[in-house]
Amino acid sequence: MNRSTPFYTRLAQVLISIICLVYIAIIGQTLLAPLIFALLFSLLLLPFAGTLEYRFRFPRALSSLISLLALIGAIAGIFILLGSQLTALAQDWPAFKKQVLDTTIDLQKWIEVTFHMDSEEQMSYINDSASKAVTTGSSILGRTILSVSSVLLFLLFTFLYTFFILLHRRLLLRFIVSVFDQEHSVIVYDIVSQIQYIVKKYIFGLFLQMLLVTGLSCIAFWLLGVKYGFLLGLITGILNLIPYIGILTALLLASLISFATAGTSQLIFVSIAIVAIHLVDSNYIMPKIVGSKVKINTLVALIGLVLGEMIWGITGMFLSIPVIAIFKVIFDRVSGLNPWGILLGEDDSQPGTKPAIREVIEDETNKGQVAAID
């Protein structure tokens, strides 16, 4: 970007570009969301596929297929383990209904004493609410079936995109390099390698974070004597991958299951344990393991999570951090976009020190002279 262009012109160009990208992301969610997931999975599986291809002399199609099957097997294993635990939990469904019924009766008596509303009035109100719920039940069921089918289609296209990206990765790399001038090919290769490294480390960090949170949750529930502690720990670890919302959902599910199987006293201890694990995760595990892989400051990460949820919902929250990390790698290595890379990155200055304005000006001037020579 030409430095002689007025600042307001450059700012307008940036804002227009951001608006266009957001608009394309909104209207192209059906295509772009599984494609970005497939790109992340491909970058994660690339070392394994390369090992099969170059060390064991597998054909590229076979190595890509085996890598994809390994990914599907890992995801299916998690769901099978979760499903087996849920099947065991279903056996306690009568006890859960009885516990809810007893609590409802106690709540009904409390309302009758506090608000002077007898049981008949309460039942008439409940019946009216139930009749309204029944009228909308069919539409809710239809939306549920539609959402399940859309999730299955999403996974299908994600796996297909992953396979074809691995299969045609050399062609895609040649296309990206050929888009730019020959003199920039080294920079393009460097950007691609850095993106691959950061995405691989980030996904590995998330997986390690999930294992640690699951382990801490299982240990805490075991010490508290919670029934189905392994299931609750696994649910807490998986849902913790969803920032902010996930831990609240895990807290709600764990509280309901603990209430159904043990009672109110254990529910309080379970809630305290989950909150304590979340504090340990947010203040130590997340910054040390995941945050060390992706150098993004917390303000930008929070804004990215909010924007991701506004654009693509839960899917956008999953993808926001790695997408911001990819943009940061590009911004750091493209002349004219370096300030945006600084904005996305962490503050590396030491506390208590202030950079001299003269040094900053001289540094920017030197950068401009080097860019002009290049």
CA distance 87 to 246: 22
Q: What local confidence, expressed as pLDDT, does residue 362 receive?
A: 45
Tell me what percent of the residues of the chain surpass a pLDDT of 90: 21
Q: What count of residues does the chain have?
A: 374
Give yes or no for residue 369 having a pLDDT over 60.
Answer: no
CA distance 20 to 37: 21
Q: What local confidence, expressed as pLDDT, does residue 141 receive?
A: 39
Identify whether 253 is part of a domain.
no
Could you tell me if 242 and 321 are in contact, meaning their C-beta atoms sit under 8 angstroms apart?
no
Residue 73 belongs to domain spanning = 1-108+155-179
Rg (CA), the chain: 26
Tell me what percent of the residues of the chain surpass a pLDDT of 70: 74
Could you tell me if 157 and 30 are in contact, meaning their C-beta atoms sit under 8 angstroms apart?
no
Give yes or no for residue 343 having a pLDDT over 60.
Answer: yes
Give yes or no for residue 352 having a pLDDT over 70.
Answer: no
Identify whether 58 is part of a domain.
yes
What is the rounded average pLDDT of the residues 67-79?
Answer: 91
**273: helix, coil or strand?**
helix
- HEC string of 303-352 equals HHHHHHHHHHCHHHHHHHHHHHHHHHHHHHHCCCCHHHHHHHCCCCCCCC
Identify whether 17 is part of a domain.
yes
Q: 336 pLDDT band (50/70/90 cuts)? A: confident
Taking only the tens place, the pLDDT of each residue in 162-192 is: 999 999 999 999 999 998 888 888 889 889 8
Burial of 114 (0-12, 13-18, 19+ CB in 10 A): exposed
Q: Please, what is the average pLDDT of the chain?
A: 78
Taking only the tens place, the pLDDT of each residue in 103-153 is: 666 666 767 677 666 666 656 655 555 455 444 444 443 444 445 677 888
Identify whether 72 is part of a domain.
yes
What is the rounded average pLDDT of the residues 79-87?
Answer: 80
Identify whether 217 is part of a domain.
no
Identify whether 115 is part of a domain.
no
Sign of the Cα pseudo-torsion (71, 77, 78, 79, in order): positive
Q: What local confidence, expressed as pLDDT, does residue 123 receive?
A: 60
Identify whether 116 is part of a domain.
no
CA distance 78 to 60: 28
Among 118-127, 155-164, 266-275, whose mean pLDDT is lowest? 118-127
Q: What total number of domains does the chain contain?
A: 1
The count of other CB atoms within 10 Å of the CB of residue 83 is 10
Q: What local confidence, expressed as pLDDT, does residue 140 receive?
A: 40
Q: What local confidence, expressed as pLDDT, does residue 52 receive?
A: 94
Taking only the tens place, the pLDDT of each residue in 234-266 is: 888 888 877 667 788 888 888 877 777 766 777
The count of other CB atoms within 10 Å of the CB of residue 238 is 17
Q: 65 pLDDT band (50/70/90 cuts)? A: very high
> Which of the 8 DSSP states describes residue 284?
I
Identify whether 234 is part of a domain.
no
Give yes or no for residue 366 having a pLDDT over 60.
Answer: no
Taking only the tens place, the pLDDT of each residue in 31-60 is: 999 999 999 999 889 999 999 999 999 999
Give yes or no for residue 364 having a pLDDT over 50.
Answer: no
**Cα–chain center distance at 154:** 16
Q: 292 pLDDT band (50/70/90 cuts)? A: low
